[in-house]
A = this chain, B = another copy of it.
Amino acid sequence: MKEVPSDAVTPSHILMLRSGMIRKLASGIYEWLPLGKKALNRVEKVIRDLHDVEGCLEVLLPALLPKSLWEQTGRWGEYGAELMRLKDRQGREFCLAPTHEEAITELAGNYIKSYKDLPKTFYQIQTKYRDEIRPRFGVMRAREFIMKDAYSFDADEQGAGLSYDRMFALYKKICAALSLEAVPVIAKTGLIGGTKSHEFMAPSDEGEEELVYCGCGWGANQELAYSKISSVKEEPLPLEEVSTPGVRTVEEVSAFLKLPAEKFIKTLIYRTADGFACVLVRGDHSADPAKLRSIIGDDARLADEKEIEEITGGPLGFSGPVGLKIKAYADNTIKYGCNMVSGANKKDAHIKNINCPRDFQAEFMNIRTVKAGDPCPECGKPLVVARGIEIGHTFYLGTKYSEKLKASFTDKAGKDLPIVMGCYGIGVSRIVAALISQNHDDKGIIWPRGMAPYQIEIIAASSTGPAMEKAEEIYKALAEKYEVLFDDRDVSAGIKFKDADLIGIPVRIVLGPRGMKTGECEIQSRADGKTEAVKLDKLLEKISDFT
């Protein structure tokens, strides 16, 4: 495709369209074309094979699930407009499943009778549906997409914990086998629920989420990230009001009082559904929007000047926690501060030497945005902050679904107990895009060896004549052992080379008119551009070094 539509803005989306891997049929609904399908098949095979080796059992559940099943867990209502719904000819209601906890739990509950039947892990690779409010970035956030979802069933929490750890390890193995750089991070459980959860994030500028991680293995979504906090060792001093005429922002007051920004408490007043609340973060920190939302609600907004005067008694820019009568949420770092500064809730005045809980009460929480270089909470080394694509998600579910769907088993003592579950998802179609987002340059895709739709591409510089005949001959010989793409189009060599860069097959064999005279061809590597002249009669032998 030469002209990519304007809604394609991310490199992976643009490259998948340009190289003819996918085509948009409707908003968030894509067709996989031959080149794309080959890449998708590679990803599927890696995932399937490694699940099989791990002893997971493959099933295939329907996309059409009856309403009654989803009503038993309450998710028919909870899912809202994201759940696509339809009626059959009899008027019975179904959804197009975005996930299969209900179906698999009901299924397992019907087959698993005894502790002897446990543990078991089932998986499937299947098409899912989610009516995204804003489908975007091509197959990255589509409405019809392919997922691998797995579900573990255990007799107790210990077993379920082991299953979780095994799947966690399997996911790491799968990412490595896919040549996909991915970082597991602590994550929220959302609509799936459960008590423990990790997201596998592929670092990429295209990512919609921000992740925070460390070389030591610790990582979290920004929404849940925190860093190591060092206590300040100082003697608490008595409160002192200071005059700060006309200086309002942290920078201004910091310069005026000659105190570093980390000594300040920023006091943000919010109008929430319940009234007003204040949020306290250190002067050198900022409140993370996602963390804030989960504390004060989606609908909260900053209070306006008039509201601030009413609530605090002072104007905007001079708010502080001391003497404030509204609910206060403070970032954990404030708890470990000492002799801090904030507004005095009156015009042109601040208060120094604020210490909690001596001078104010607050609920301490994780509110701030973690920044690159902040110390890792595990090992203290500087944290990395990056954008990332969620390519996998693991959930420790416990008995959330098995209780509601009455999936129980008989233990050794003859007691009926709910099965303890975990669930584990990988975005199969999304991984194709994630791989491209991590492996491309200005000219096009650079497929990692094992994941390329074809291993080798053959190009003859001319479309007819001896080079073309030789190319065809080589194609036939290599095709017995490799997956080979032969560009036999009647187009110029320039177009062939440009398209080869675009689709990014790792190894390229080029036959030119000069080589026809010397009996040589060139082997080129897409990744590093390296080129080697090889005698035609040595090609079959030589090519194995490249693939």
Contact = CB atoms under 8 A, between A and B. Distances in A.
A63 B127 contact: yes
A25 interface: yes
B490 A62 contact: no
A403 interface: no
A81 interface: yes
B30 A58 contact: no
B64 A26 contact: yes
Interface in A20-48: 20, 23, 25-26, 29-34, 37-38, 40-41
Interface string A92-136: 101010000001000100110000100000101001010101000
A97 to B, nearest CB: 11
Interface string A445-462: 000000000000000000
A381 interface: no
A127 B69 CA distance: 21
Nearest to A146: B60
A92 B131 CA distance: 12
Interface string A39-77: 011000000000000000111111111100100000000
A89 interface: yes
A181 interface: no
Nearest to A106: B25
A88 B129 CA distance: 11
Contacts of A62: 25, 29-31, 144
A25 B144 contact: no
A90 B111 CA distance: 40
Contacts of A107: 23, 31, 33
A5 to B, nearest CB: 13
B58 A38 contact: yes
B57 A129 contact: no
Contacts of A110: 23
Contact of A89 (B31, B33, B89, B131): B131
A143 interface: yes
Contacts of A116: 489-490
A237 interface: no
Contact of A86 (B86, B89, B124): B86
Contacts of A85: 86
A474 interface: no
A37 B58 contact: yes
Contacts of A300: none
A63 B127 CA distance: 9
A229 interface: no
A25 B88 contact: no
Nearest to A489: B116
Given A37-B58, A81-B89, A89-B81, A66 B25 contact: yes
A30 B85 CA distance: 19
Contacts of A84: 86, 88
Contact of A31 (B25, B30, B60): B60
B88 A131 contact: yes
Instruction: Tell me which of A26, A57, A122 has the highest count of chain B C-beta atoms within 10 A of its own C-beta.
Output: A26
A426 to B, nearest CB: 17
A177 to B, nearest CB: 19
A221 to B, nearest CB: 26
Contacts of A103: 25, 31
Contacts of A26: 64, 66, 92, 94
A129 B33 contact: no
Contacts of A65: 25
A128 to B, nearest CB: 11
A33 B60 CA distance: 7
A96 B509 CA distance: 43
A29 B62 CA distance: 7
A266 to B, nearest CB: 39
Given A63-B144, A89-B81, A127-B127, A58 B31 contact: no
A59 B30 contact: no
A122 B31 CA distance: 12
A64 B31 contact: no
A80 B81 CA distance: 26
Given A63-B63, A86-B96, 6 more contacts: A23-B110, A30-B62, A31-B61, A33-B111, A64-B144, A116-B490
8 contacts: A26-B94, A30-B62, A31-B61, A32-B59, A33-B107, A62-B144, A64-B129, A89-B131
Name the 10 nearest CB pairs between A and B, nearest first.
A86-B86, A32-B60, A34-B57, A81-B89, A29-B62, A37-B58, A62-B144, A26-B66, A89-B131, A31-B61
